[in-house]
A and B are shown apart, each in its own frame.
Chain A
Amino acid sequence: MRTLVIGVGNLYRRDDGAGIHVVNHLKKKVPTIDAIDVALGSVEILEYMMGYEKVIIVDAIVTGAEPGSYFHVNIAAMDDPPLIFHSHGIDLITTLKLGNLLYSDQMPKELMVIGIEVEDTLTMSEECTPRVREAVKNVVDEIIVMVAS
């Protein structure tokens, strides 16, 4: 299955860069993987994902859970998916709905969002906090398995 991994976040806002760190680690470990850093991208995510069968988006999130915990959601399979806000103002669900409306034949059949719960996003730093750093490593390993299968 042709798979693309998209990292979202701000690399210099400590844990907010978790998704970007995942992409950077992945590219080092598996140079052949299709993985891109879109930073705080919005509608362009739609353009990137067109033509792929499966897309995995890794993002930093706040739900109140333990920092460093993370979860997977297969958004494409959900009837009423949760709204995830991008700071660029256009949420992921809007982007996907738009894609399905305009380019239904080119949209991925599977769309997995991996959200990593953050601890600190206010400090300017390229380093994540220890628990989030650990989560980044685990998510990288899981994605490698997912893509291989």
Chain B
Amino acid sequence: MKKITIDPITRLEGHGKIEIFMNDAGNVENAYLQIPELRGFERFCEGRRAEDMPIITPRICGVCPTAHHFAATKALDSAFNVEPTKTAKKLRELMYAGNYIYDHTLHFYFLGGPDFVVGPDAPPGERNIFGVLKKVGLDIGKEVIKHRAYGQKITEMIGGKATHPTCGIPGGISKGLNEEERQSIENMARSSIDFAKFTLKVFDDIVLANEDYVNLILNDAYQLDTYNMGLVDKNNNVNFYDGDLRVTDQKGNEYDKFQSGDYLNKITEHVEPWTYSKFTYLKEIGWNGFTGGPDSGIFRVGPLGRLNAADGMATPLANEEYKRMYKTLGGRPVNSTLAFHWARLTELLYAAERTLELSLDPGITGTDLRNPVGEPGEGVGVIEAARGVLVHHYKVNKEGMIDKANLIVATTNNYASICMSIRDAAKGLIKNHVVNDGLLNMVEMAFRAYDPCFGCSTHSLPGQMPMTVNIYDANNNLAQTVRRE
């Protein structure tokens, strides 16, 4: 069996390694993603003050700090048996919508989007932000930087610090918003709506108007019929901050809907010997190997998982886009992994609209910022990280210290699906020993669509483009190394 290793993967959030196993005939047998997992987190948290968790956890991974901040804050609300005040809840959601503006903008223009905007067959050196700017123009580059910064400014204004927010406390938020700040957020939100609409037009003009790209999205190699999961509001619309977890099946029907505190009864984890990371799946359906379909408990989260698990978007323009996406791609659910990009941009528009709605809410400058906390105990906090469902679960002792902490992060929830997407793309695109750069990129595209993060951080200095492919022979000996120029 031949083994192909792609390591590291350009433009990904971390240092994952893809390994593709080929048989003697040179066809793909299987594919796996290796994730270097952080171990010892539980011990690191034990004995710390529970109220420090919203400060500590954003630094664990570093890629979704605001999501960890609020998952921790919500877990503390639950552990201290307190509801946040109305104003605090609105402020948290407003800040979180701002966070989505910068996260989704970054992904489309810098990380995942170049594959489509520049084109999957373009030389690797052009599939980056510069290739995107060459297509859309330098002035747009400034708009990208400006609106990404708007999202960050909103986060900073409410959160205290943009990179590592400090505002979340059990039962509330540490500071309110004054009228001047509110006005500033309103202005940034209006501009962000226009920017999101523009970005969707770029997607329209460059991707959807190109028949080859649409065919690529609908290509069998990129289809995966898993369950889908996401937070929804009372109308079953997508919600990033709060609500129930809804699971839909392969036909788009509701399979289950439950409160976050119930997650242990609904989701469990599978272990494989080749990776430290675990694979979550629906407990009631069970683990049935790396396969989709109704008998496999594997589910998808993140932008496409969220849209598939909901009935619509709660804001008008985003809801129109939601309907257009499903109409164009054949109805809900959409199983194409590459549709994650369209779903992400629909969410960017929703985030901008929701930011405006909340900035115009008369209660947003309220002064009821914190409710008194109750006795400490056990608590679960669930939030939609940009990459999908994120769960924090703490046991807090009588002294207010952490006895036990458990985190299920978005990339873990998507891990099984990511492995399957890589395998299926590889099967369709690498055949009879033919392994060229364009084909490998198609495999990477399946992977990038999820916007995964690995929480890994040390920086390497290779001095060359970061693409090395090792091909192993049937005896697992290194037969060839191919580097990208």
A40 touches B145 (CB 8 A): no
B163 touches A39 (CB 8 A): yes
Contact string against B for A residues 100-131, beta-carbon threshold 8 Å, 1 for contact and 0 otherwise: 01110000000000010010011111000000
Interchain CB contact (< 8 A) of B461 among A40, A42, A62, A103: A62
Interchain CB contact (< 8 A) of A87 among B43, B60, B63, B466: B63
How far is A89 from B164 in the complex, measured between Cα atoms in Å? Answer: 19
Interchain CB contact (< 8 A) of A101 among B14, B44, B141, B148: B141
User: A46 on the interface (CB 8 Å rule)?
Assistant: yes
A61 touches B459 (CB 8 A): yes
Contact string against B for A residues 7-43, beta-carbon threshold 8 Å, 1 for contact and 0 otherwise: 0111111011000000000000000000001111111
Residue of chain A at shortest CB distance from B146: A47
Interchain CB contact (< 8 A) of B62 among A84, A88, A103, A125: A88
**Which B residues lie within 8 Å of A85 (CB)?**
8, 459-462, 466
**Which B residues lie within 8 Å of A72 (CB)?**
none
**Which A residues lie within 8 Å of B164 (CB)?**
39
User: A86 on the interface (CB 8 Å rule)?
Assistant: yes
**Which B residues lie within 8 Å of A102 (CB)?**
138, 141-142, 145
Which A residues between 54 and 107 are near B, CB-CB below 8 angstroms? 59-63, 82-90, 94, 97-98, 101-103
How far is A60 from B13 in the complex, measured between Cα atoms in Å? Answer: 17
Q: How many A-B contacts if CB must be within 8 Å?
A: 134
Which of B126-134, B177-185, B300-308, B419-427 is found at the contact surface with chain A?
B126-134
How far is A88 from B60 in the complex, measured between Cα atoms in Å? Answer: 13
Query: Given contacts A39-B164, A124-B44, is CB(A101)–CB(B130) below 8 Å?
Result: yes
A115 touches B458 (CB 8 A): no
How far is A88 from B148 in the complex, measured between Cα atoms in Å? Answer: 15
How far is A65 from B111 in the complex, measured between Cα atoms in Å? Answer: 30
Interchain CB contact (< 8 A) of B459 among A43, A46, A60, A101: A60
Query: Given contacts A12-B44, A124-B38, is CB(A88)–CB(B13) below 8 Å?
Result: yes
B148 touches A43 (CB 8 A): yes
A38 touches B163 (CB 8 A): yes
**Which A residues lie within 8 Å of B148 (CB)?**
43-44
B39 touches A83 (CB 8 A): no
B14 touches A87 (CB 8 A): yes
Interchain CB contact (< 8 A) of A86 among B40, B60, B65, B459: B459
How far is A56 from B463 in the complex, measured between Cα atoms in Å? Answer: 20
**Which B residues lie within 8 Å of A43 (CB)?**
106, 110, 145, 148
Interchain CB contact (< 8 A) of A10 among B8, B128, B129, B457: B457
A62 touches B460 (CB 8 A): yes
B141 touches A61 (CB 8 A): no
B458 touches A121 (CB 8 A): yes
The interface on chain A, measured as residues whose beta carbon lies within 8 A of the other chain's beta carbons, has a size of 45
A59 touches B149 (CB 8 A): no
User: B392 on the interface (CB 8 Å rule)?
Assistant: no
Which B residues between 350 and 402 are near A, CB-CB below 8 angstroms? none
Which B residues between 201 and 222 are near A, CB-CB below 8 angstroms? none
A98 touches B458 (CB 8 A): no
User: B97 on the interface (CB 8 Å rule)?
Assistant: no
A123 touches B458 (CB 8 A): no
B457 touches A62 (CB 8 A): no
**Which A residues lie within 8 Å of B198 (CB)?**
none
How far is A141 from B210 in the complex, measured between Cα atoms in Å? Answer: 57
How far is A123 from B44 in the complex, measured between Cα atoms in Å? Answer: 10
**Which A residues lie within 8 Å of B39 (CB)?**
122, 124
Give B contacts to A, CB under 8 Å: 8, 11-15, 36, 38-41, 43-44, 56, 59-60, 62-63, 65, 106, 110-111, 128-130, 133, 138, 141-142, 145, 148-149, 152, 162-164, 454, 456-466
The 7 closest A-B pairs by CB, nearest first: A40-B62, A10-B457, A124-B44, A82-B463, A121-B458, A87-B457, A124-B40
20 more A-B contacts (CB under 8 A) besides A10-B62, A88-B13, A97-B130? A11-B59, A12-B60, A15-B458, A38-B163, A40-B62, A42-B106, A47-B149, A60-B458, A83-B462, A87-B14, A89-B13, A89-B110, A90-B110, A94-B129, A101-B133, A102-B138, A103-B142, A115-B461, A122-B36, A122-B38
23 contacts between A and B (CB under 8 A): A12-B60, A13-B38, A16-B458, A38-B163, A39-B65, A43-B106, A44-B162, A44-B163, A47-B145, A86-B459, A87-B13, A87-B454, A88-B62, A89-B11, A89-B12, A89-B14, A89-B111, A94-B129, A97-B130, A101-B138, A102-B141, A122-B36, A124-B41
